[in-house]
């Protein structure tokens, strides 16, 4: 029966420890990368939702200009300010609830452009994530 020579096995043990250490470092790096990517994703989603809210707010204001003003109670600057604040709150809530889809579309487009994947690879990845 062959016995293991302790002198000869030392380099093998060191190499095994080096491999384990490098694997641990890779796992740590990957987890940091994933955390950083998720933070960037969250920022991008927030920016897209805020843009959609701003766009809808402008759209609502322009649509309101086409409606004749109600002069039953008179016109005042306070009413205009209150209406502007109401539209801002309404459009922010709409955007958070999904809005008209502009924010989601922008998010997908920007994410795809920033991705190192080709459009086909990105589409395949999205399909896998939906499953």
Query: pLDDT (tens digit, 9 = 90+) per residue, 53-69?
Result: 999 999 988 998 898 87
pLDDT of 24 strictly over 60: yes
Question: Rounded mean pLDDT of 67-72?
Answer: 76
Question: What's the pLDDT score for residue 81?
Answer: 87
Secondary structure of the chain as H, E, C letters: CCCCCHHHHHHHHHHHHHHHHHHHHHHHHHHHHHHHHHHHHHHHHHHHHHHHHHHHHHHHHHHHHCCCCCCCCCCCHHHHHHHHHHHHHHHHHHHHCCCCCHHHHHHHHHHHHHCCCCHHHHHHHHHHHHC
pTM of the model: 0.58
Question: What's the pLDDT score for residue 69?
Answer: 76
Question: Rounded mean pLDDT of 88-116?
Answer: 85
């Amino acid at each position: 029966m062959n016995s293991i020579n302790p002198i000869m096995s030392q380099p093998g043990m060191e190499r095994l420890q080096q491999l384990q250490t490098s694997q641990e470092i890779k796992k740590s790096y990957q987890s940091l990368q994933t955390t950083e990517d998720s933070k960037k994703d969250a920022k991008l989603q927030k920016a897209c939702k805020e843009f959609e809210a701003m766009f809808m707010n402008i759209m609502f204001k322009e649509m309101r200009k086409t409606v004749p003003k109600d002069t039953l109670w008179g016109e005042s600057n306070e009413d205009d300010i209150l209406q502007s604040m109401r539209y801002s709150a309404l459009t922010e809530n709409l955007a958070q609830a999904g809005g008209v889809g502009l924010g989601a579309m922008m998010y997908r487009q920007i994410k795809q452009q920033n991705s190192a994947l080709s459009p086909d690879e990105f589409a395949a990845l999205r399909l896998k994530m939906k499953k």
